[in-house]
């Protein structure tokens, strides 16, 4: 059986110049669980403890929507990338 890294290798990204993911940083600071940092299969979210900020590596997003489903305060702005940008799945 393939592991997650093998599966992610079959994904092609065409990143946009602007993020399609817009967290409300104040809500992120108040969030105790920071669950988006653990639920995302592509590791898009990282909590920067020093700067008290959620770092969003939107270029890696698989567009699965798990982050917005689990966000306890519904404070993650999420939309599909524009046009031909975003993720493309290859057979694998």
Domains of the chain by range and CATH? 4-89 (3.30.70.20)
Give pLDDT tens digits along the chain (92 positions).
467 777 777 778 788 899 999 999 999 999 999 999 999 999 999 999 999 999 999 999 999 999 999 999 999 998 888 888 888 877 65
- Distances 10 to 14, 42, 64, 88, 92 between C-alpha atoms, Å: 13, 13, 15, 9, 6
* Inter-residue contact 43 to 60 (CB < 8 Å): yes
Q: Give this prediction's pTM.
A: 0.82
């Amino acid at each position: 059986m393939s592991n997650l890294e093998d599966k992610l290798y079959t994904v092609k990204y065409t990143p946009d110049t602007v993020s399609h993911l817009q967290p409300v940083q104040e809500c992120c600071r108040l969030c105790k669980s920071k669950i988006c940092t653990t639920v995302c299969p592509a590791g898009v979210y990282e909590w920067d403890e020093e700067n008290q900020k959620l770092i969003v590596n939107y270029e890696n997003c698989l567009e699965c929507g798990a982050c917005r489903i689990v966000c306890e305060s519904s404070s993650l702005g999420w939309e599909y990338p524009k046009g031909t940008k975003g993720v493309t799945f290859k057979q694998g």
